[in-house]
Amino acid sequence: MSATLPNAEPHAELDPRLAPPFPKAALPVLRNAQLRKNVAHATDVIQAKRAHLVEEKQDWQQLRAAAAAIRDHVLDHLGDYLEQFETRCTAAGGVVHWATDAAEARAIILRILREEQASEVIKIKTMTSAEIQLNPALEAAGIAASETDLAEIILQLGHEEPSHIVVPSLHLNRAQVREIFARRMDLPQLSDDPRALTAAARTWLRRKFLTVPTAISGANFLIAETGAVAVVESEGNGRMCLTLPRTLITLAGIEKVIPRFADLEVMLQVLARSATGERMNPYTSLWTGVTPGDGPQRFHVVLLDNGRSPILARPTERQTLRCIRCGACQNTCPVYRQTGGHAYGSVYGGPIGAILTPQLMHMEHAQSLPFASSLCGACYEVCPVRINIPEVLIELRAQVVDQQRRRQNRMFDPLYLGMRAASGILASARRFGAAQRLGRIALRPFTRSDGWIHSLPGLGARWTLTRDLRGMPNQSFREWWAQRQEKQP
Amino acid sequence: MRASLFITCYNDTLFPETGRAVVRLLERLGVALDFLPAQTCCGQMHANTGFRAEAFSQAKQFVRLYRDAEAVVIPSSSCVAMIREQYPGLFAELGNEQLRGELTALLPRVYELSEFLTGPLGVEDVGAYFPHRVTYHASCHGLRGLAVGDRPLRLLAKVRGLDLVALENLDRCCGFGGTFSIKNAEVSSAMLAEKLTDVQRTRAEYCTALDNSCLMHLGGALHRQFAPMRTIHLAQILASTESEPAEVTP
């Protein structure tokens, strides 16, 4: 690991193909009390702001319905809108590239950078670039990538991974940020006052903005009607990246397109309130191709598929692609609250990650993620585009189990065997009654004199890890009812 | 009024006292209650764990069994949510139009207990007496799936002697989630620990809910920690009277 080359280490932690299953990945985080405290505090703050602003909006449910309808309409006509975007963007002087997968997207971006003879790029926060593992690829090609979003700077300098899609450094508190800045910017006297920290970042950034002529951005929206790209942010660093460099490359998932400029009226309202708990985000930048003498003179858009288009074909799952990456589901999720984003083994953590990541991986990796939810429904309740995440989770769970049914080793999975056996038992009330009586006998040796079970073997041990279980009563309800009927026919 | 009790598999097996309380309560309120011994399970555990074909068998069994019932009462909000939210999709996916039609006709007659009391029966004061300090935990499926709102609280408010104390972060999951509590036992336990902090802060004697599943989770941890607080299903509080107090588990 070299101190001068940021992101020299591979992002194994956030590669769904390499990440450990969720229950295992969660363990180190559950032991990290500071991280859990940071996540709970940060999500509480954002949630409270969001709740306040949603409450003041009388037509919030109608806005959600409108946003969902716009996104659904796009997904129904995605090919048409993407072509329209390409035509308009090209006419305005942009160059549109199509990337089937992460490798192709990286290759396109590297080719452009080589043509530009770039040895350094500045970046606006883009989760999509993390999805395609762009920074390690740039590093390997000898191109230094400098993040300019405050949260991303913290992560880059601290060699940390993003843990949230809107506030990627949410798992760190300001004392930890101070420590990273003091060490990496060589500012031993730096205080942890937020103003001092942002001032340090500004000085650090200003040099980059004024010297690096090539920038990479993501996109919040692509507007088919005009060929414009929209980025929303809070800091203004994005706008510096979008206006100062000579060359700008925008990487965007194909689902990011919306039909008309006017649709921003709905989308920006729901996005700002859901993402940061603001009525309107401080900076909304829109640009259309190239304007001679103003802003970047060479502009490329890379449209990324990377597993998205197969999702379109599936009726239940396609709502996943409505997502506008507001992170509200992460902030409200009681599972994310305990684990933060890293345990999800992908840049997309929390409920949206639990459904998006396995699908982007064609259900070949990250199969533990659909099970990383108690199905409490809090995510669906806050989602500004009404993605029924629990419904998609259940659909994906069925796909994982269907894969398991075809595997030989299923007979070694106690949960699989248990579920199959339970199905046979529950198919008949007679069998169910017999199983109840048998269970009573089987559990007797584990039941203490106080009538409770404190420890169970096998899968049961997963329950008794932290919870006792009341011993089985001597009479089931159905037995009681039958006895009662006999007494009073 | 006639009604058929669907007790649910886990109440039948692990919490028969809840079933007995439902019988006492509804009979006291003049309901002619029936129990079909052929019933087993709604299929929620299988559906939510990904065993869709198995869940379908349970769903089919449920609809066939209850299609002629005047009303079906279920003392578990998550089982009712399973029936309302997932059955239509299951039948549609498997292309069984006849079952789908029967389900559509049946669904308006399927009630969670607090829905049945405050809806068709039109009562809030069920004549109960329970002189204890009680907090109410809103199970996620009751809160979001069924949107029961303040029905359980209205019922509890009318119980004589009961001192109802509000639970903070009422809308946060206790971490049970069915097989989630096994597959992700550590995360589930962390969620439970946070919920327990809120529950114990109420200094209530009892924590009640619409679902014994959440209560089994909370109660199991309370017992593990030697906490004096106990869990009790809403039906048992509502069935309780001066002459016949609630059956309390050890």
Give me the pLDDT at residue A489, please: 63
Domain assignment of residue B158, yes or no: yes
The pTM is what? 0.96
| Local confidence pLDDT in tens for the 489 residues of chain A | 333 334 434 445 689 999 999 999 999 999 999 999 999 999 999 999 999 999 999 999 999 999 999 999 999 999 999 999 999 999 999 999 999 999 999 999 999 999 999 999 999 999 999 999 999 999 999 999 999 999 999 999 999 999 999 999 999 999 999 999 999 999 999 999 999 999 999 998 998 999 999 999 999 999 999 999 999 999 999 999 999 999 999 999 999 999 999 999 999 999 999 999 999 999 999 999 999 999 999 999 999 999 999 999 999 999 999 999 999 999 999 999 999 999 999 999 999 999 999 999 999 999 999 999 999 999 999 999 999 999 999 999 999 999 999 998 888 899 999 999 999 999 999 999 999 999 999 999 999 999 999 999 999 999 999 999 999 999 999 999 999 999 876
Do B117 and B109 contact (CB within 8 A), yes or no?
no
Asked whether residue B248 is assigned to any structural domain, the reply reads no
Strand partners of residue B207: B135, B231
Within this chain, do residues B147 and B109 fall inside the same structural domain, yes or no? no
Task: Measure CA B165 to chain center.
Answer: 20
What is residue A409's predicted lDDT score, i.e. its pLDDT? 87
The answer to whether residues A277 and A52 touch, using CB atoms and an 8 Å cutoff, is yes
Whether residue B101 sits in one domain with residue B139? no
Q: How far is CA A95 from the centre of its chain?
A: 29
Of the candidates A23, A423, A432, the beta carbon closest to that of B183 is on: A23
Q: Which residue of A has its CA nearest to B44?
A: A394
* B83/B171 same-domain check: no
Per the CB < 8 Å rule, is A463 touching B11? Answer: no
Contacts of B175 in chain A (CB under 8 A): 334, 374
Cα separation, A319 vs A304, whole angstroms: 18
* Residue B114 and residue B138 in one domain: no
Instruction: Identify whether B247 is part of a domain.
Output: no
DSSP A259: S
Contacts of A41 in chain B (CB under 8 A): none
B8 and B114 share a domain? yes
B109 and B199 in a single domain? The answer is no
- Are B138 and B199 in a shared domain? yes
What are the extents of the domains in chain A?
430-487
**Pairwise CB contact (< 8 Å): B184 & A465:** no
B141 contacts chain A (CB < 8 A): yes
Indicate whether B25 belongs to any domain: yes
Tell me how close the Cα of B20 comes to any Cα of chain A, in angstroms: 7
Residues B84 and B143 reside in one and the same domain: no
Confirm whether B88 is domain-assigned. Answer: yes
Q: What angle do CA A105, A109, A114 make, to 5 degrees?
A: 145
User: Do A363 and A403 form a contact (C-beta atoms < 8 A)?
Assistant: yes
- ipTM for the whole predicted complex goes beyond 0.90: yes
* Partner residue opposite B57 with nearest CB, options A335, A427, A466: A427
Task: Judge: B185–A466 Cβ closer than 8 Å, yes or no.
Answer: yes
The reply to whether B203 falls in a domain is yes
* Contact (CB<8Å) A463/B182: yes
Residue A14: CB partners within 8 Å, gap ≥ 6? A130, A161, A162, A342, A345, A346, A347
Which residues form the domain of B201? 133-239
Of the three residues B118, B141, B170, the one that is the final residue of a domain is B118
Of A370, A423, A454, the CB nearest to B51: A423
Looking at the fold, whether B112 and B137 belong to one and the same domain comes out as no
Q: Say if residue B112 is in the same domain as residue B142.
A: no
Q: Is residue B246 part of a domain?
A: no
The three-state (H, E, C) secondary structure of B116-185, written as one string:
HHHCCCCCCCCCCECCCEEEECCCHHHHHHCCCCCHHHHHHHCCECCEEECCCCCCCCCCCCCCHHHHCH
Q: Rg of chain A's alpha carbons, rounded to an integer?
A: 26
In a domain, B250, yes or no: no
Q: How many CB atoms lie within 10 A of CB B245?
A: 14
Do B110 and B154 belong together in one domain?
no
B170/B233 same-domain check: yes
Provide the number of structural domains found in chain B: 2
> How remote is the C-alpha of A253 from its chain's centroid?
14
SS3 sequence of A360-381:
HCCCCCCCCHHHCCCCCCHHHH
Q: What is the CATH number of the domain that holds B150?
A: 3.40.50
Of B85, B118, B151, the domain-final residue: B118
Amino acid identity of A263? D
User: What is the sign, positive or negative, of the torsion defined by CA atoms of B184, B189, B192, B197?
Assistant: negative
